[in-house]
Amino acid sequence: MLRISELKLPLDHAPEALAALIAQTLGVPLEAIASHNVYKRSFDARKVELLTVYICDVQLSDAKLEAALLAKHAGHPHIQNAPDMRYTPPASAPEGLPLRPVVIGFGPCGIFAALMLAKMGFRPIVLERGKTVRQRTRDTWGLWRKSVLNPESNVQFGEGGAGTFSDGKLYSQIKDPRFLGRKVMEEFVKAGAPPEILYVAHPHIGTFKLVKVVENIREQIVALGGEIRFDQRVTDVQIEDGQLRGLTVLDQATGQASELRADHVVMALATARATPSRCCMRAACTSRPSPFPSASAWSIRRASSTARAGAAMRAIRCWARPTTSWCTTRATAARSTASACARAAPWSRPPASRAAWSPTA
The mean-pLDDT minimum among 29-43, 78-92, 162-176, 320-334 falls in: 320-334
> pLDDT digits over 293-305, tens only?
333 334 333 333 3
Flag whether 86 is in a domain.
Answer: no
User: Are 77 and 168 members of one domain?
Assistant: no
Q: What is the CATH number of the domain that holds 66?
A: 3.30.70.2700
User: Are 142 and 222 members of one domain?
Assistant: yes
User: Are 114 and 75 members of one domain?
Assistant: no
User: Are 106 and 190 members of one domain?
Assistant: yes
Point out the domain boundary residue: 81, 110, 137. 81
pLDDT at 192: 92
How far apart CA 255 and CA 81 sit, in angstroms, is: 59
Q: How many domains does the chain have?
A: 2
pLDDT at 351: 43
pLDDT at 280: 61
User: Are 47 and 137 members of one domain?
Assistant: no
User: Are 137 and 241 members of one domain?
Assistant: yes
pLDDT at 284: 55
Tell whether the model's pLDDT for residue 361 goes beyond 90. no
The residues, ordered by sequence, that sit 6+ positions from 300 with a Cβ below 8 Å of its Cβ are 108, 170, 171, 172, 181, 184, 331, 332, 333
User: Are 344 and 252 members of one domain?
Assistant: yes
Domain that holds residue 156: 102-356
Confidence of residue 269 (pLDDT cuts 50, 70, 90): confident
Higher pLDDT, 305 or 103: 103
Mean predicted confidence (pLDDT) in 196-208: 86
Q: What is the largest CA-CA distance in the chain?
A: 72
pLDDT at 141: 86
Flag whether 90 is in a domain.
Answer: no
Give SS3 for 331. coil
User: Are 60 and 159 members of one domain?
Assistant: no
- Are 159 and 106 spatial neighbours (Cβ–Cβ below 8 Å)? yes
User: Are 218 and 108 members of one domain?
Assistant: yes
> pLDDT digits over 71-82, tens only?
998 889 999 999
